[in-house]
Amino acid sequence: MKPGKGKTLGGAPRSGKWTKHAEDTRVGGKHRGSLIALIVLGVLVLGGIGGYMAVANSQLHAGLMRQQKEMRRRPDYVPLAQMPRYARDAFAAVVDTTSAARRSLRRGMPLPSASRDLVRQVHLLDSGLASQAREMAMAPLLEAQTSSTGLLELYVNRVAMGRTESWAVYGVQQAAQEYFGKDARRLTLSEAATLAGILLPPRVADPEADPGAMGTRRNEVLRILRATGKIDQAAFQAAMAEPLAFQPGVDYAPMSRPADWQAEPQVIRLPEALRPKPDSAAASPAGAGSQAGA
């Protein structure tokens, strides 16, 4: 074999397209630089997400989770175990406390998420992109660290439930006292369904501004409870027949007609025995005339 020619291996020369260059044997070959850049970028992205989630978790514990511990020491905090079973079922029927599949309501409309509602309200989040990012990060963390029952209990004790006059109403205890004048532990089925109806989408922010809506929403919650077997037919019919104790807007209904009202007043005809007799002033002109003629 002459010098300068490739060494044969199995009858084929080790030159030309069969030759393996040193740079081709490295991981990634000629794209190794791009591969390393992608790996570094991925590590940075994952590190950024992990750091953001750690910050979100810290904010969650400093805000909502800390508030939960403080709320449990308040006299107006009502544990779920102390509420009637139908009251717990009424609130569970209109809010989603699961972290997996979101339940639907009314023609596929998704139920409001308890975790997102709480995070949004307690941490005063708006509709901006930064607030939405915080909500999407903090809500799953809350669900992961709280049981479904614990999340529902926190929700019914903290969620905004309308407003009365000039202040907002938060939690089932304050709502029961403001709207029904009673303790949340003594709510009837109809009353519990009425309060849960405030939370049906779209949310009633000011019940006084929507007079007449509470009855419809109460009946809808009762139908959900009946359809899911939470109450029987007798309880359903009794609750539907119960007079609505909370009728916002009635207290502010006008008690007099407007000034431009032009309808004819109703004529009330009295029996002869009750008709007023003419007084002396009305009879005096005739009497005076007869005396003058005399």
User: Which residues, in sequence order, are bridge partners of residue 9?
Assistant: 12
Q: Contact, 112 vs 96, CB < 8 A?
A: yes
> What pTM was estimated for this model as a whole?
0.64
Q: Contact, 179 vs 246, CB < 8 A?
A: yes
Residue range 92-140, pLDDT digits in tens: 998 888 755 555 555 556 777 888 888 887 777 777 888 788 778 778 8
> How high is the pLDDT of residue 257?
45
How many separate helices (H) and strands (E) can be counted in the chain?
Answer: 11, 6
Q: Contact, 116 vs 192, CB < 8 A?
A: no
> How high is the pLDDT of residue 290?
46
